[in-house]
């Protein structure tokens, strides 16, 4: 019997463990979202990873754009919230379980990455403790329906911009592959005393308006497709975007790709934004969610 799998450790708490209910929830998220006009050019999505009651409606605006017939592999990048990594963690298993069915990992490619410096095999326990990757799995299994696809999950640690550019040189081959989709897992601003972050621009009447303006500045930098500009924004404002390193790696990968082929048009567009609460007082707290899509127009 094959026991080489990662359990769906957050099912039943962060999202439903009941397949019928989970399908209904995911279907509602997608049905209430709008597909972007140019979704046929989809190359990557940026999507939140909180409990589905909070972030699911926003995540749907990214996932609605995926045509499963176009892709047979997904490169999934999410931040490590608790395990310290001076690089990227990769799984030591062959399958990820979800209430909707298993997802097979691209073991051959993962083993290739494991031989490269700054890629580290992690234990199943460390993998199951992390939610940023798992929260994308039911969405992916649902959107791809019964179609088989291979997954390369990458748990990104406390990397530097130089490391992000190094990783980009390795990941650009996947980005060039028209059959590979990138999924970047990230929430945006975590605001309040429990997050030890309380930036407030008093030009805005309410705190939640200031938070949105702060997030929009970051989203503008991401849409600008320059990893260094995004890094400078983070240094200036310290915005608590938990997936900042996966986003930085995507931007660096796009930069690397454009060096190889600058004839193609590359666009990142944010299509939905929300907050867990509209904070008006300093004792409040909220987490922001943004749905982004990366379009690659091949000339």
Q: What tokens appear for 169 in the block?
A: 């040189």
* pLDDT, position 224: 98
The rounded distance, in Å, linking the Cα atoms of 258 and 296 is 10
Residue 146 CB neighbour total at 10 angstroms: 7
Which tens digits make up the pLDDT trace of 47-72?
999 999 999 999 999 999 999 999 99
Q: Residue 264: which residues within 8 A CB-CB, separation 6 or more?
A: 258, 296, 297, 298, 299
According to DSSP, the β-strands at 190-191 and 286-297 are antiparallel
Q: What tokens appear for 131 in the block?
A: 């939610």
Instruction: Please tell me the total count of domains within the chain.
Output: 1
How far the first Cα of the chain sits from its last, in Å, is 49
The rounded distance, in Å, linking the Cα atoms of 16 and 11 is 6
CB 96 within 8 A of CB 203: no
**pTM (two decimals):** 0.96
Which tens digits make up the pLDDT trace of 249-262?
999 999 999 998 77
* pLDDT, position 299: 63
In whole numbers, what is the pLDDT of the chain averaged over residues?
Answer: 96
CB half-sphere exposure, 126, CA atoms < 13 A: 21
The rounded distance, in Å, linking the Cα atoms of 273 and 289 is 6
Nearest to 136 by CA among 215, 46, 72, 223: 46
Which tens digits make up the pLDDT trace of 193-245?
999 999 999 999 999 999 999 999 999 999 999 999 999 999 999 999 999 99
Share of the chain above pLDDT 90, in %: 93
Report CA Rg, the chain: 18
* pLDDT, position 221: 98
The rounded distance, in Å, linking the Cα atoms of 16 and 27 is 13
The conformation of residue 191, written as its DSSP 8-state character, comes to E
Judged against a pLDDT cut of 60, whether residue 2 lies above it is answered with no
Which tens digits make up the pLDDT trace of 7-35?
999 999 999 999 999 999 999 999 999 99
Domain that holds residue 99: 5-297
The CATH number that applies at residue 227 is: 3.40.830.10
pLDDT: is 1 or 148 the higher one? 148
Judged against a pLDDT cut of 80, whether residue 3 lies above it is answered with no
Nearest to 188 by CA among 104, 268, 276, 253: 276
The conformation of residue 93, written as its DSSP 8-state character, comes to S
* pLDDT, position 1: 32
* pLDDT, position 146: 87
The rounded distance, in Å, linking the Cα atoms of 45 and 65 is 9
SS3 state of residue 68: helix
Q: Residue 270: which residues within 8 A CB-CB, separation 6 or more?
A: 46, 219, 222, 223, 290, 291, 292
The rounded distance, in Å, linking the Cα atoms of 164 and 249 is 5
SS3 state of residue 65: coil
């Amino acid at each position: 019997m094959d026991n080489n799998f990662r359990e769906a450790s957050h099912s039943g708490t962060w999202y439903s463990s009941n397949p019928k209910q989970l399908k209904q929830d995911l279907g509602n998220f997608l049905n209430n979202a709008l597909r972007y006009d140019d979704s046929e050019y989809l190359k990557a999505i940026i999507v939140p990873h909180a409990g589905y009651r909070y972030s699911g409606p926003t995540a749907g605006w990214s996932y609605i754009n995926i045509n499963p017939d176009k892709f047979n592999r997904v490169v999934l990048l999410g931040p490590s919230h608790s395990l310290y990594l001076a690089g990227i963690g990769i799984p030591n298993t062959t399958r990820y379980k979800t209430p909707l069915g298993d997802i097979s990992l691209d073991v051959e490619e993962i083993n290739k990455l494991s031989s490269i410096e700054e890629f580290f095999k992690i234990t199943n326990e460390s993998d199951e403790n992390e939610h940023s990757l798992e929260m994308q799995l039911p969405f992916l299994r649902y959107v791809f329906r019964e179609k088989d696809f291979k997954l390369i999950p990458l748990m990104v640690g406390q990397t530097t911009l130089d490391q992000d550019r190094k990783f980009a040189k390795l990941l650009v081959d996947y980005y060039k592959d028209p059959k590979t989709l990138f999924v970047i897992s990230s929430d945006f601003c975590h605001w309040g005393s429990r997050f030890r972050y309380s930036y407030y621009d008093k030009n805005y009447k309410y705190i939640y308006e200031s938070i949105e303006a702060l997030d929009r500045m970051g989203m503008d930098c991401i849409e600008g497709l320059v990893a260094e500009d995004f890094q400078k924004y983070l240094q200036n404002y310290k915005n608590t975007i938990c997936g900042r390193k996966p986003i930085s790696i995507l931007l660096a990968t796009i930069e690397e790709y454009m060096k190889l082929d600058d004839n193609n048009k590359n666009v990142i567009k944010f299509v939905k934004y929300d907050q867990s609460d509209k904070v008006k007082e300093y004792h409040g707290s909220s987490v922001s969610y943004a749905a982004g899509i990366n379009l690659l127009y091949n000339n």
